[in-house]
Amino acid sequence: MRFSTASAGRECWGPNAALPRHRHDHGYVTLVLAGQYVEAGDKGRFQLVPGDVALHGPFEAHCNAFAHSGAQLLNIPLAFWQRPAFPVGTIVDPDTIARVAETDMIEAGTLLFAKLCVRTLNATDWVDALAAAIQRDPSLHLETWARSHRLSPETVSRGFKRVFGVAPRRFRAEIRAQRALRAMLDGRDPLSQVAVAEGFSDQSHMTRAVVALTGKTPRTWRNAGKQAAVRAAVG
């Protein structure tokens, strides 16, 4: 399985550039230094301007569309087990973070989180509303949702894919797999119970979904989580 790499440090994108949907196997944050762009991913769609910070957890996917001004960005990696609590934040002085990052990326990340404020996100159309509904409930019945919004299933599928780069059924499956991964790492319930709680038909169904998302089985991740807990306990 191939994942995209977000290189630490500055990154420049030209006018009207576009980055198709892609997935990273490690978390990172992106601070916008100049320009602007739209990111549409597993946490929703939002427009980012200077001072905004997009926070990405491991195995999240997104696509990007840059404005006519392009954008200058700063990528700061996160520890693998670190999962951001919210998708977008903002800071008052991004240039200070950029200067610190030139010599110490870890210190830049610490300073960024100390100054970071949550940015409120609002749905702008039915595509955003559907993405938010799937995030709340990955078992959402898409045809029922479409009818309740007076849309045909075909319109919903085409419109959603145009924005997020993936059909809503695939989006839903990947959100469910991410929730299962978090549950098996954060909790101690048997994997069979995690599968039922997260809406899978059985443990084998969950295993296939998690492998498709991460390249590794739930049991491998559960063992890795236990090892990480032991390392944290012994310092």
* Same fold across 9-118 and 126-233: no
When pLDDT is cut at 50, 70 and 90, the band that residue 84 belongs to is confident
By residue count, the chain amounts to: 235
Please spell the DSSP secondary structure of 135-156, one letter per residue: HH-TT--HHHHHHHTT--HHHH
Q: Are 32 and 49 in contact (CB under 8 A)?
A: yes
For CA atoms 81, 122, 3, 201, give the dihedral sign.
positive
The torsion of the CA quartet 192, 42, 9, 53, rounded to 10 degrees, works out to -120
Q: What is the pLDDT of residue 80?
A: 73
Q: What is the pLDDT of residue 235?
A: 44
Mean pLDDT (whole number) for 178-193:
92
**230, pLDDT greater than 80:** no
Question: What does the pLDDT look like over 43-80, one tens digit per residue?
Answer: 999 999 999 999 999 999 999 999 999 999 999 999 87
Question: In the chain, what are the domain boundaries?
Answer: 9-118, 126-233
126-233: which CATH number, 1.10.10.60, 3.20.20.60, 3.40.1360.10, 3.30.429.10?
1.10.10.60
Give me the CATH code for the 9-118 domain, please: 2.60.120.10
Question: What does the pLDDT look like over 101-153, one tens digit per residue?
Answer: 999 999 999 999 999 999 887 778 999 999 999 999 999 999 999 999 999 99
